[in-house]
Amino acid sequence: MIRSAIQRSGLLVGLLGSLLLSCSSGVKSGETTDSVSGNPDTNGPGPKGSTKGDDPGTTDPAGNGDPTGPSPAAGNDPNAEPTSQNTDTPISEDCSAPSPGQAPLRRLTNAEYVNTATDLVGDADLVAKVTENFPREPTSLGFRTSAQALTITPLVADEYFKAAQELGKAAVAKEGVVPCDIATADPACTQSFVEDFGKKVYRRPLARADLKRYSDLFNAIVSQTGDRQAAFEAMAATMFSSTNFLFRVEVSQPADGSVGMPTGYEMASRLSYLLWQTMPDDKLFEAAENGDLDTVEGIEAQVKRMVSDTKALRVYEFFEQWLDIDEAAGLSRNETNYPAFNPTLVQLLQAENRAFVYDLLVNQGTFSDLLAADYTFANKSLAEHYGLATVPEGSKFERVDAPDRAGVLTQATLVMHDRPARTSIVKRGLKIRTDFLCQIVPAPPANVDTSLPDLDGSLTQRERLDQHRQQDGCAGCHQLMDPVGEIFEAYDALGKPRTKDEGGADVVGGGSISGTRTLDGDYATPRDLALAMAQSDEVRQCFMLQAFRFFYGRDATGADACTQEQLATSFAKHDYRVVDLLIGLTQSDQFLYRAATSLDAASDGAQP
Amino acid sequence: MKVLSRRTMLRGVGGIALGLPLLDAMLPRRANAQTAAPKRIIFEFKPNGDQTSRRFVSEGETDWVFDEFLAPLEPYRNELLILNRLDKRFFNLPSEERADNHEQGGMALAPWPAGAGDFPVGGEDRTIGYVLGPSADYEIGERVLQQVPALPYRHLVYRVGGRENNIWNLSSHAGPVGEKNPVLPETDPYSAFGRLFGVDANDAEAQAELQRRLVVKQSMLDLLTTENAALVKQLGGDDRRRVEQYTDALRDIERALQPAAEEGACNPVSLGDPVEVYNDDNHEVVGAAFQKIIGMAFACDLTRSVNFNWHGNTSNRVYTNLGLEEGHHDISHKSDDEAFGQIRMIHKHLWTLSTGLYDVLKATPEGDGTVWDNTLIVHWNELGQGDSHSINDILTIFAGGMSGYFTRGRYLDCKNDVGFSEMLVSCMHYMGFEDVDRFGDERLATGGPVPGITT
């Protein structure tokens, strides 16, 4: 198997250093919802992987409760079981033959566009400028990588078209891109430019029809305007506007049968976008050209090389979106309860998470470390904010002991959905439920009075919620969220340990979790819960499902059983090292193979 | 879909490689505008519901009295048609076809079932997802384009607030029926201004350069659409649709290549020094900038349909400018007096800002009157009331001259007997599409317009 050749040593080692302090460019603005960024499926109301059969007509458990109808809200059922989001371990599939699921056409994400354009024109500042108004990709299942949601609407097209013209100019002006003096360019020079630069932009050699189109474009512009410079710039700009640049186009069909490997060039892009979030480099192009990517061994060799490159740290974006760290820019806290809040502190929280995940990737950290590490990364300011025993000097982030904390669970993700004036027990619980357990939670029932009348104003949030759960309409769902969120009450809305809550009352620590396959029980501290989660197959499966969604650009379906099993097997075999999950993603049937495309116009190409 | 023929464009451009006056002949819409001012529509959204019992002190058909948070509308009362208590009827859909009230309420311009697959909270044993059909602003824009193919923009979609796009805060959808296809809003008015009015139409040199570039752009678009046409033959259904959608977007670019021809009131003026768009403190300035752009876009006849949002659906903006410390959405979940007091404060603030749009349109001359005379502004909300998440009791207010089509200075209590979708049918009739009898899924739309509101 491929895996065996991936050496433990050397992966990303020594790449940390100054990278740790670089802040994310993905700034989000202030708009938030009451929802955690979530997760599940795709493809509309089609078949789902693992959910129970619907039984409409007996209940109205969405909790939306028809205000005029008789149906009880599902939330009323105190024994409500959360539904799982496609995490059930697939078994009894015959995976002896490759069985990839659907591989949808994927538009570049904004980050991928930026990285790719920078590789092509070399001017990161220019690229940042021309892409700054790209609309934010619609979120689906908590991620901005969903192929289905990554469409080119008119506004997006407009932005792309504008950016392409700037990039086209920059490309033509770049040393060596046009192999002659444009003023006197002969057809051979023009063709050479189209072939060489076009191959990089299209991520494959141009076909004869492609070359003809560019030749026609060139001639049309020169004949109408006499401006050869404009014609070259237009050719480059057109490449940057091409579907072949904006999407990761895969059109190869298996030579025989229904499953085959993608072409070498298609595979080069699969590799580079999964591990580097950008276009293939020269070595990948070379490997594609030589046929090295037509074999599993050849792919393995490239993966080994690629994970040792700093560009592989870009997979951090998965963690950032999964943990909602990318929403940090919208955080606000009121001055009364949180005088320590300021934008710099938010950046420190982001930087902590980034440094922590980078370290896991570089130093073979495990899933257990991810959730339950008894250390974190901090600089002086953050260590003081957290009240850590060890306080580094200066602004550089260093690994420091944090024996009471618990990996990412007590980092910025914890506070991302808290309220301006206080922690949110409900939303913290919901985050664990949906994003770490991959469960589905029904909405609050309609027309239910969510206020808690006649309550003593001095009650704590926890006490109020306890009373809340005495109400029929609220009990079922809140039982899923509140007791979990309560476990985290010992941390305030800026992630700092506390013994008194915002109202000055003593914090009652501890809570419980129910409705799970592996975790049900009481937990005194976040760390206790984290240690259990870190050993839970259920939580690991959810993590793998989240990675599947982010990296493959869609939700898992029943057709992905073999790939999911391969991911699970590989992850387990490598002691649940986080970087090995990423490598595993390049070794699955989904990644290595490609199913034949039905070209029947009537086919919707959706579910197998 | 008809678009301005590329050949017509090129023919027009052919002689001007040297810079030339515009292709008036290609733009009959401008001439038409002289004879009859076009009708326009603006859907203006506010999130999180309000307080249903505190909208009006008394509810007489002509002598109604606004309560405090609607008081900013009092000076305009004779130019309003108030449709109180419309029902969005989403509970007519079975639970496996609908989302939670927030999403369903916020996408009510598109009265279709909700898809799945985008969010894990809110469905019954299923995830919920973007709505499966077009919204009224898109549908109207598309129908206008079929009549006036040279109109540069089908619709304009603007949102004050953050950049994040999710199943809650996208109220415009392109469809077609059965498909998820959210339309992303523009959130930066300075960028939006540049897109519509990028070239100063009084700058002859810039215009000449633009015409020269038109040749280039047209050639580029030609290659791209040809390439896509070849490519889609190699793609399966969903993939093919995504590429075809890009082709359609390229045609939109082609249509909008012409700059605004300045005549009459079409005289785009700068928005002033830009402020930080995503700084929450600037939301009033950003909102006002979008209002100005809408006025200019109408004056220049760049579009006839606008979808404008005061922050997204379920906005949790903290109105620190009003002295509040909790987010709007969090407050809206509560039922106590203090919370409702804050909700009223927020809505009074937003309604005050809404009237800024009235003032812009009233200040934009057109023919013998103003753009206001031929505009219908539809104020709508995600919910009836936030604490109960009600999707009935929706307050909808029509404002504007409305081309004299609707009766004005009038209050109607629709008592939840009238659907939101019927209101949208009335809007389509106003825009001249009287063939529309139903808009939306038949379980949500009983058919026909709101009865008894036209003149």
Per-residue confidence band for A79, with pLDDT thresholds at 50, 70 and 90: low
Residue A50: pLDDT over 50: no
Q: Which of B211, B239, B343, B383 to mutate to test the interface with A (most CBs of A within 10 A)?
A: B239
Residues of chain A positioned with their CB less than 8 A from the CB of B255: none
A529-543, A566-580, B206-220, B303-317: which range is least confident on average? Answer: B206-220
CB of B315 less than 8 A from some CB of A? yes
Note the helical H segments in A363-508: 367-372, 380-386, 412-415, 425-431, 461-468, 472-486
Note the helical H segments in A432-524: 461-468, 472-486
CB A543 within 8 A of CB A567: no
pLDDT tens figures, A342-377: 999 999 999 999 999 999 999 999 999 999 999 999
SS3 A166: helix
Distance of residue B367 Cα from the nearest chain A Cα, in angstroms = 31
pLDDT, residue A270, reads: 98
Residues of chain A positioned with their CB less than 8 A from the CB of B303: none
Over residues A166-180, the mean pLDDT reads: 96
Nearest-5° Cα angle at A94, A90 to A95:
85
How many other C-beta atoms can be found within 10 angstroms of the C-beta atom of residue B406?
A: 22
**Contact between A156 and B318 using a beta-carbon 8 Å cutoff:** no
Residues of chain A positioned with their CB less than 8 A from the CB of B315: 31, 33
Q: Which of B188, B330, B335 sits opposite A451 (nearest CB)?
A: B335
Looking at chain A, the whole-number percentage of residues with pLDDT higher than 70 is 81
pLDDT, residue B421, reads: 97
**Pairs of CB atoms within 8 A across A/B:** 360
Place of tokens 């930080």: B276
Q: Which of A37, A52, A58, A64 to mutate to test the interface with B (most CBs of B within 10 A)?
A: A64
Q: Which residues of A, range 117-136, sit inside 8 Å of B by Cβ?
A: 133, 135-136
Residues of chain B positioned with their CB less than 8 A from the CB of A135: 163, 165, 184-187
Q: Which of A33, A212, A223 to mutate to test the interface with B (most CBs of B within 10 A)?
A: A33
**Contact between A243 and B227 using a beta-carbon 8 Å cutoff:** yes
Nearest-5° Cα angle at B311, B424 to A495:
140
Q: Which residues of B, range 235-274, sit inside 8 Å of A by Cβ?
A: 235-240, 242-243, 245-246, 248-250, 252-253, 256
Identify the closest residue of chain B to A104 by CA–CA distance: B239
CB B147 within 8 A of CB B32: no
Residues of chain A positioned with their CB less than 8 A from the CB of B124: 54, 60-63, 74, 442
A32-41, A72-81, B205-214: which range is least confident on average? Answer: A32-41
Per the prediction, chain A carries an average pLDDT of: 84
**Contact between B392 and A45 using a beta-carbon 8 Å cutoff:** no
SS3 A375: strand
Q: Which of B168, B224, B327 sits opposite A242 (nearest CB)?
A: B224
**Contact between B314 and A33 using a beta-carbon 8 Å cutoff:** yes
The secondary structure of chain B in percent helix, strand, coil, rounded to multiples of 5, reads: 40, 15, 45
Which stretch of DSSP H or E encloses residue A156?
helix A154-173
Task: Report CA A159 to chain centroid distance, whole Å.
Answer: 23
Q: Which amino acid is at A132?
A: E
CB of B6 less than 8 A from some CB of A? no
Over residues A76-90, the mean pLDDT reads: 59
How many other C-beta atoms can be found within 10 angstroms of the C-beta atom of residue B140?
A: 31
**Contact between A54 and B125 using a beta-carbon 8 Å cutoff:** yes
Residue A31: pLDDT over 90: no
Residue A463: pLDDT over 90: no
The model carries a pTM of 0.88
Residues of chain A positioned with their CB less than 8 A from the CB of B95: 56, 60-62, 64
Both tokens assigned to A324 = 């909602």
CA distance to A51, A144, A283, A557, B103, per residue, from A85 (Å): 7, 18, 39, 10, 20
Distance of residue B208 Cα from the nearest chain A Cα, in angstroms = 12
CB A446 within 8 A of CB B389: yes
pLDDT, residue A261, reads: 94
Which residue stretches of chain B have pLDDT < 70?
1-35, 199-203, 258-264
CB A452 within 8 A of CB A59: no
Task: Report CA B190 to chain centroid distance, whole Å.
Answer: 18
pLDDT tens figures, A201-238: 999 999 999 999 999 999 999 999 899 999 999 999 99
Which stretch of DSSP H or E encloses residue B376?
strand B375-381
**Contact between A327 and B164 using a beta-carbon 8 Å cutoff:** yes
Looking at chain A, the whole-number percentage of residues with pLDDT higher than 90 is 70
Over residues A288-309, the mean pLDDT reads: 97
In angstroms, the CA B194 to CA A130 distance is 13
Question: In sequence order, which residues have a C-beta less than 8 Å from that of residue A233 and are 6 or more positions away?
Answer: A165, A168, A169, A172
Collect contacts of A507-513 with beta carbons under 8 A, ≥24 apart: A508/A460, A508/A462, A510/A486, A511/A482, A511/A483, A511/A484, A511/A485, A511/A486, A511/A487, A512/A483, A512/A484, A512/A487, A513/A432, A513/A483, A513/A484, A513/A487
- Residue A149: phi and psi, rounded to 5, are -85, -15
Nearest-5° Cα angle at A468, A463 to A474:
150
CB of B224 less than 8 A from some CB of A? yes
Q: Which residues of A, range 133-152, sit inside 8 Å of B by Cβ?
A: 133, 135-141, 146, 148-149, 151-152
Question: In sequence order, which residues have a C-beta less than 8 Å from that of residue B169 and are 6 or more positions away?
Answer: A31, A33, B106, B159, B161, B309, B311, B312, B313, B314, B315
**Contact between B91 and A64 using a beta-carbon 8 Å cutoff:** yes
CB A114 within 8 A of CB A131: yes
In angstroms, the CA B147 to CA B162 distance is 35
pLDDT tens figures, A243-262: 999 999 999 888 777 899 99
DSSP for B82-104, please give it. Answer: EEEEEB--GGGS-GGG---HHHH
pLDDT, residue A27, reads: 28
Residue A180 Rama label (left phi>0; alpha psi -120 to 50; beta): beta
CB A238 within 8 A of CB B220: yes
